[in-house]
């Protein structure tokens, strides 16, 4: 179905929830309660998001997590990348070369272009947009149109 992993869905939920709350620190347990998600899983996700630099943490009593940047400056694409790695619709779009049909790899190049288009679509949506409740249609006006004239 071309779907993101459930954990990634959770992660965007966590990020969106934090974007709602301006309070500096929210504990993992608190977020788990608010979103009705298993606490250990939430903890694990927040650690991953921390390593990716999307959230900052404060240890000890009264500590917790918070967005590392304003919600406006964090895209859905970044959250997905933090949990699942870079967007690459096909395996060989990464360029590992572990592709069984090396034969005609104009196909590979084309997949890379398609992946990038999807990436751009996901970059166009910020956490602030997710909280805004009124996301109509994605504006592609902000596309990084770089039609390299090879």
Query: Is residue 118 involved in binding a copy of itself (CB under 8 A)?
Result: yes
For DNA, give the closer residue by CB, 8 or 16.
8
Q: For tokens 């917790």, what's the residue? A: 64
CA torsion 137-132-83-86 (nearest 10°) is 40
Count of residues interacting with a copy of itself (CB under 8 A): 55
CA dist 120 → 29, 60, 76, 141 (Å): 33, 39, 10, 11
Query: Is residue 90 involved in binding DNA (CB under 7 A)?
Result: no
Query: Is residue 38 involved in binding DNA (CB under 7 A)?
Result: yes
Of 17, 21, 27, 90, which one interacts with DNA (CB under 7 A)?
27
Residues 6+ apart with CB under 8 A from 69: 54
103 contact choice in DNA, a copy of itself, none (CB below 5 to 8 Å, kind-dependent): a copy of itself
Residues 6+ apart with CB under 8 A from 93: 108, 111, 112, 115
Query: Is residue 78 involved in binding a copy of itself (CB under 8 A)?
Result: no
CA dist 15 → 25, 26, 45, 78, 94 (Å): 13, 11, 10, 11, 27
CB of 56 to DNA, least distance (A): 8
Q: Is 71 helix (H, G, I), strand (E, B) or coil?
A: helix
For DNA, give the closer residue by CB, 57 or 138.
57
Interface stretch with a copy of itself, choices 31-39, 42-50, 51-59, 60-68 (CB under 8 A):
31-39
Query: Is residue 63 involved in binding DNA (CB under 7 A)?
Result: yes
Query: Is residue 112 involved in binding DNA (CB under 7 A)?
Result: no
CB of 55 to DNA, least distance (A): 8
């Amino acid at each position: 179905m071309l779907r993101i992993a459930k954990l990634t869905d959770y992660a965007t939920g966590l990020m969106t929830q934090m974007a709602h709350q301006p309070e500096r620190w929210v504990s993992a347990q608190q977020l788990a309660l608010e979103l009705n998600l298993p606490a250990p899983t939430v903890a694990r996700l927040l650690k991953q998001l921390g390593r990716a630099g999307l959230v900052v943490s404060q240890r000890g009593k009264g500590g917790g997590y918070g967005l590392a940047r304003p919600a406006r400056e964090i895209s859905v694409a970044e959250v997905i990348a933090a949990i699942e790695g870079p967007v690459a619709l096909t395996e060989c779009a990464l360029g590992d070369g572990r592709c069984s049909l090396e034969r005609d790899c104009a196909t590979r190049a084309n997949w890379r272009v398609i992946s990038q288009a999807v990436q751009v679509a996901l970059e166009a949506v910020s956490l602030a947009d997710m909280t805004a409740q009124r996301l109509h249609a994605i504006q592609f006006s902000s596309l990084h149109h770089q039609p390299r004239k090879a």
